[in-house]
Amino acid sequence: MTNIARLTQIIEPEVTALGFDLVRVLVFGRSEIGDEEVTLQIMAEDPATGQLVLNQCAALSNRISDRMDASEEAGEVLIEEAYRLEVSSPGIDRPLTRIKDYTTWAGHEARFALSAPVEGNRKALQGVLIGIEGETVLLDDKKSGRVQFALADVHSAKLVLTDRLIAATRPLDTTGADELEEAQED
């Protein structure tokens, strides 16, 4: 099994060295069944913009790849199977993975999958994120009203794409977009 904590120890300094913040490290897919590729997904953001543009993703991908290759050449097995490295910006409907995300995105709609049930045995919640107090997440759930649950019980959390979220998101950096050429069909 892949050790996400160890991968994060290797990846985070590379992200930080480029001036970015690490949002998430995730490994998904299993090659044991032979028909699904394993993917190492790295989400990061430039703190100045909340996003990464293509050249930033490429620079980060190269840096992480070089670092992981060096670790593996030194004898450390980080991911047992062959894998694909995917480096991306978290997007508008981003995952909530850090404590600061719960403060930054308070007031916006979010969807939660919990590992421990709340409010009558519910593990799936959706509503307006109120914020976080210590290690307790506060949510105005659409079905149950105000609920709270331990941050440690969050299996996954993600913002829901709404007009309000789009309006609150900083404009995407379109630098270089005018240089792109449309592919001509033959």
**CATH code for the domain in which residue 43 is found:** 3.30.300
Query: Band of the pLDDT at 172, cuts 50, 70, 90?
Result: low
Do 63 and 41 belong together in one domain?
yes
How many distinct structural domains can be found in the chain?
Answer: 2
Q: What local confidence, expressed as pLDDT, does residue 57 receive? A: 96
Residues 111 and 159 in one domain: yes
Residues 6+ apart with CB under 8 A from 90: 23, 24, 43, 44, 45, 50, 51
β-pairing verdict for 136-141 and 21-28: unpaired
Cα–Cα distance between 137 and 148 in angstroms, integer? Answer: 5
C-alpha–C-alpha distance, residues 13 and 22, integer Å? 9
Phi, psi dihedral angles at 93 (to 5 degrees): -90, 60
The larger pLDDT score, comparing residue 85 to residue 82, is at 85
Q: pTM (2 decimals)?
A: 0.82
Say if CB 109 and CB 129 are below 8 A apart.
yes
Q: Identify whether 127 is part of a domain.
A: yes
Q: Residue 173's pLDDT band (boundaries 50, 70, 90)? A: low
**Same domain (yes/no): 18, 74:** yes
Task: Please check the confidence at residue 1 and state whether its pLDDT lies above 90.
Answer: no
Q: Are residues 111 and 140 in the same domain?
A: yes
Query: Confidence class of residue 183 from pLDDT cuts 50, 70 and 90?
Result: very low
pLDDT band at 167 (very low <50, low <70, confident <90, very high): confident
Q: Is the pLDDT of residue 175 over 70?
A: no
Model confidence at 105, pLDDT cuts 50, 70, 90, reads very high
120 and 78 together in one domain: no
Could you report the per-residue pLDDT of 12-67, keeping only the tens digit for each?
999 999 999 999 999 998 755 556 789 999 999 999 988 999 999 999 999 999 99
The answer to whether position 185 is within a domain reads no
Query: Do 90 and 68 contact (CB within 8 A), yes or no?
Result: no
Taking phi first (over 0 means left), then psi (-120 to 50 degrees means alpha), and beta for anything else, what does residue 121 get? left
Structure tokens belonging to residue 165: 């979220």
> Taking 80 as the threshold, does the pLDDT of residue 74 lie above it?
yes
Boundaries of domain holding 139 = 99-168
Residues 111 and 153 in one domain: yes
Same domain, 111 and 70: no
Q: CA-to-CA distance for 163 and 65, rounded, in angstroms?
A: 37
Residue 25 lies in a domain: yes
Q: Does one domain contain both 47 and 109? A: no
Segment 64-90 mean pLDDT: 94
Strand order in the sheet with 38-45: 21-28, 38-45, 83-88
Residue 42 CB coordination number (10 Å): 25
Q: Taking residues 103-116, what's their average pLDDT?
A: 97
Contact 135, 60 (CB under 8 A): no
**Which of 88, 120, 147 is a domain's end point?**
88
Determine the pLDDT at residue 184.
46
